[in-house]
Structure 1
Amino acid sequence: KRRLSPQVNYTQPVVAVQFSNATANVDHHVECRLNAAGLRTDDERDKFAGRVAFRLRINRE
């Protein structure tokens, strides 16, 4: 069994999203993609290669 070792000096990226005037009590879909030469983000077999997606809901009464 081959074991993968962490990359030397690798720093995990940080992403920040700011919503101004977002609609309350509604799901907001967010997708962040990497853009780089030679990096594919459109592979249907691996939908999260080079990207992350999530939903955010701001609840207000």
Structure 2
Amino acid sequence: MLTADFSRFVLIPLFVLNMGAMVITLYLKKKIRPEFSGNLNKLFFVENIIGLVCAIALGYIAFFVN
């Protein structure tokens, strides 16, 4: 499952879309009042976890999969 094709067609687009979503979430957090930012904090945490998993998987593929 962890092959170059999986990396090219799934992980890299997911990683790029996730980074875009994180930028949009940060922009929204600046514009919204603090009492309404709880859900955005949860969303940002989930986006960070997804980005971390993608980065780890991409690193694993780059160094350990032939």
Q: Same fold (TM over 0.5)?
A: no
Q: Which protein shows a greater Rg?
A: 1
The higher relative CO (CA closer than 8 Å, separation ≥ 6) is in 2
- Greater share of helix: 2
